[in-house]
Structures are given as structure tokens and as C-alpha cells.
Amino acid sequence: MLIPLLIVAGLVIAAGIVYFVVTQKSDAGGFDFSHTQRTLETGTPAKARVLTMRDTGGRLNSNPVVEFQLEVQPASGAAFSATTRAIISTVDLPRFQAGASIDVKYDPVDHSSVAVLH
């Protein structure tokens, strides 16, 4: 009777930790998982030109959290500047250098909400 109770308690604690990590801003460079996920799910696709990128010092699974200055070019309407963060695999970093054209999603109502697609 005690062993099944300990197993259930362990699973509840593990689920709580996973929930906390996924729903909170992480210490990994201030990357906000829930906000980014929402923009990826509901945002409008666009192209963006990388103006600058910098390593925030944060890491997730050894991959850097990178801050981007972007010039977002919507399919219709004027281009706009935005700053965003993304976790980029070290293997993919060369694709995101200054001057590169990348795919993003943005909130048409709130241009400060931009998520990098990879």
C-alpha cells in the first residue's frame, strides 16, 4: 500500500516541476515559453531580416538563448522593427547571422510579439 502511494506522489511532484518549467520564464536568458508558443500558434507568418543577434548567456539543453533585432516584412503593410528571443541549436546558428532572411510569426495587433521559426 505504501509503495503505490510513493509512486503516485513522485509522479505528481514530477508533473508539477515540468509544469512550472514550461509555463514560467526560465532563467535561460529570460525566454518566455508560453508567450512564444502562443505567437507560434496564432501569429501571422512573415519574413524578417536579422539586423543583429546576441547570445544572452542563457542555455537550454546546451543551446543558447539568442536575442534578435529584426526587421519584419509582413506580406501586406509596412515593415517594422522587433526584438525577440529564441533558443537556437548551435548547429543552426549560422543560418541566423546578421543579414539573413528568416521565417517568423508575429501578432498583427502587437508587433512586439514575434516568434522565430526554425
- Residues 6 or more apart in contact with residue 38 via CB below 8 angstroms: none
Query: Does the pLDDT of residue 19 top 60, yes or no?
Result: no
pLDDT, tens digit, 9 for 90 and up, residues 34-71: 888 899 999 999 999 999 999 999 998 899 999 999 99
**Residue 118: its pLDDT value, please?**
85
**Are the C-beta atoms of 36 and 9 separated by less than 8 Å?**
no
- Looking at per-residue pLDDT, the higher value among 69 and 20 belongs to 69
Q: Give the DSSP H or E segment for 25.
A: none
Whether 83 has a pLDDT exceeding 60, the answer reads: yes
Q: Which residue has the cell 509582413?
A: 74
7-34 mean pLDDT: 59
C-alpha cell at 111: 508587433
pLDDT given at position 34: 83
pTM: 0.73
Interatomic CA distance for residues 15 and 118, integer angstroms: 28
Instruction: Provide mean pLDDT across the span 60-88.
Output: 95
Cα–Cα distance, 66 to 53 (Å, whole number): 6
Catalogue all structural domains in the chain, each as residue range(s) with its CATH number.
Answer: 28-116 (2.40.50)
